[in-house]
């Protein structure tokens, strides 16, 4: 697979990933126009994530059975239809249904990632996956400022019109440029689905890594769903253009991807995991201090966004490296299980974030965001090898 195709896949993943995050900074204007209550605002993001998780569990496994290019193109076309529905939504129920369809089709990017791993030669597999994942993460993090900027210039509906046009063009380009890949598996679809449950039951590393990142992703979604409500509220009174600049600062977390990959290659997976988790927890303690609407508080929120994005991106790359090394013949299903679980965590974070902000304001929101990585850290501490490492470190200090 040529470098041109790898870069094309990275761009495609970034464009597809962005569709899941466009609505995060727009929760305020969307809920206002479609008459959603503050408590239900989190559903704007949650339905997209639920759709994405559904696609990961029911559609992504097809990448181990059906010709990959065909599945990818059909799913990207589905995203385009969902975006058109969101742009034209006359009421909240229509928009939420469209958001589910957008999420469902956007799971195409999790076929593209293992597709790149399969198509690249052995000695370039890590490089290919790293480039594609960097594009995916960049799309995730740039979606928020792009959506806010377009809304400032036009309206939130225009964001989905532009995204639908991009997906239509992308579907055609994917059809013309991707090499075909027909999996060798002769399993039936139902057998693929049942095998995923077997993988969950028999691979402890898969269970642990998915749980860890589900907790971190819950904090990530909670923060980026609620912070626009805080910034546009009476304390800060920021415009959508200012929120675009705020979200752009958080995009700096994308540099974590290559750093985390290099660290994992060096065999430092466990300490890097602990640092990533701790960083996300500490970020919410910083956010808790941003309460007075001052420039200092705004700066603290910028730091929070950067640290949350950095910690979540780093942990995602570290965990995917662990999971992709488990059973290569099941990569599509392993990736589907992993990403579906973490987006379930994201859906929980978004839903409870809206509730927390409406019920207890920013302080309750921050404490809830803090609790998720703490749960991950507590669970991570039960790994026997990690406890042994801590014990050896204590014995070394006492000598």
Per-residue pLDDT of the chain (399 residues; tens, 9 = 90+): 677 888 899 999 999 999 998 987 887 788 888 887 766 777 887 888 889 888 888 888 887 788 889 999 999 999 999 999 999 999 889 999 999 999 999 999 888 887 887 777 766 666 677 778 778 878 887 888 888 889 888 889 999 999 999 999 999 999 998 888 877 666 777 777 787 888 888 888 889 999 999 999 999 989 988 888 888 888 888 877 787 778 777 666 666 666 766 676 677 888 889 999 999 999 999 999 887 778 888 889 989 988 998 888 888 878 877 887 777 667 777 877 888 888 788 888 988 888 899 889 999 999 999 999 999 999 998 875 544 454 555 554 555
Question: What angle (nearest 5°) sits at the alpha carbon of residue 213, between those of residues 212 and 216?
Answer: 100
Burial 29-61 (b: 16+ CB within 10 A, else e): bbbeebebebebbbbbbbbbbbbbbbbbbbbbb
Q: For residue 391, what is the domain's CATH number?
A: 1.20.1250.20
Q: What is the spatial distance between Cα 289 and Cα 281, in angstroms, rounded to a whole number?
A: 14
Q: What is the spatial distance between Cα 65 and Cα 187, in angstroms, rounded to a whole number?
A: 7
- Specify the pTM: 0.74
Q: How far apart are the first and last CA of the chain?
A: 54
Element holding 331 (H helix, E strand): helix 331-380
Q: What is the spatial distance between Cα 328 and Cα 325, in angstroms, rounded to a whole number?
A: 7
* Residues whose CB is less than 8 angstroms from the CB of residue 169 and which lie 6 or more positions away in sequence, other chains included: none
Domain holding 119, by residue range, is: 3-398
Q: What is the spatial distance between Cα 234 and Cα 34, in angstroms, rounded to a whole number?
A: 21
Predicted local distance difference test score (pLDDT) of residue 50: 86
Question: What angle (nearest 5°) sits at the alpha carbon of residue 213, between those of residues 212 and 215?
Answer: 70
Structurally, the chain folds into a number of domains equal to 1
CB 212 within 8 A of CB 218: no
Predicted local distance difference test score (pLDDT) of residue 387: 45
Q: What is the spatial distance between Cα 134 and Cα 91, in angstroms, rounded to a whole number?
A: 36
Tokens 């599945």 sit at which residue?
71
Q: Nearest Cα to 350, choosing from 239, 231, 214, 210? A: 214
Polymer length in residues for the chain = 399
CB 40 within 8 A of CB 31: yes
Residue 45 tokens read as 């993001």
Q: What is the spatial distance between Cα 71 and Cα 7, in angstroms, rounded to a whole number?
A: 20
């Amino acid at each position: 697979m040529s470098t041109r195709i790898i870069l094309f896949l990275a761009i495609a993943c970034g464009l597809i990933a962005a569709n899941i995050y466009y609505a995060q900074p727009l929760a305020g204007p969307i809920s206002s126009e479609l008459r959603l209550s503050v408590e239900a605002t989190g559903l704007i993001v949650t339905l997209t994530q639920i759709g994405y998780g559904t696609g990961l569990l029911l559609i992504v496994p097809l990448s181990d059975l059906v010709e990959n290019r065909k599945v990818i193109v059909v799913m990207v076309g589905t995203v385009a239809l969902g975006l058109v529905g969101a742009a034209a939504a006359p009421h909240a129920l229509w928009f939420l249904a469209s958001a589910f369809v957008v999420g469902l089709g956007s799971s195409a990017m999790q076929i593209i990632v293992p597709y790149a791993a399969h198509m690249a030669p052995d000695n370039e597999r890590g490089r290919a996956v790293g480039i594609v994942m960097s594009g995916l993460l960049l799309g995730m993090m740039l979606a928020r400022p792009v959506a806010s900027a377009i809304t400032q210039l036009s309206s939130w509906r225009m964001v989905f019109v532009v995204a639908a046009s991009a997906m239509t063009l992308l579907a055609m380009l994917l059809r013309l440029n991707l090499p075909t890949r027909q999996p060798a598996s002769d399993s039936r679809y139902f057998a693929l689905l049942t095998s995923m449950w077997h993988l969950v039951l028999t691979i402890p590393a898969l269970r642990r890594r998915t749980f860890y990142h589900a907790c971190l992703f819950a904090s990530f979604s909670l923060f980026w769903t609620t912070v626009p409500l805080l910034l546009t509220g009476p304390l800060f009174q920021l415009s959508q253009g200012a929120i675009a600049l705020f979200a752009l600062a958080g995009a700096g977390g994308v540099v974590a991807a290559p750093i985390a990959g290099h660290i994992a290659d060096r065999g430092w997976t466990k300490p890097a995991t602990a640092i990533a988790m701790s960083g996300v927890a500490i970020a919410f303690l910083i956010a808790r201090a941003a309460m007075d609407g001052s420039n200092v508080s705004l700066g603290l929120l910028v730091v929070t966004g950067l640290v949350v994005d950095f910690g979540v991106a780093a942990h995602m790359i570290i965990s995917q490296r662990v999971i992709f090394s488990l059973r290569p013949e099941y990569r599509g299903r392993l990736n589907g299980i992993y990403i579906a679980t973490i987006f379930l965590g994201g859906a929980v974070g978004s839903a409870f974030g809206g509730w927390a902000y409406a019920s207890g304001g920013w302080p309750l929101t921050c404490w809830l965001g803090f609790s998720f990585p703490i749960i991950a850290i507590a669970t991570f501490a039960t790994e026997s090898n990690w406890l042994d490492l801590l014990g050896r470190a204590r014995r070394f200090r006492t000598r």
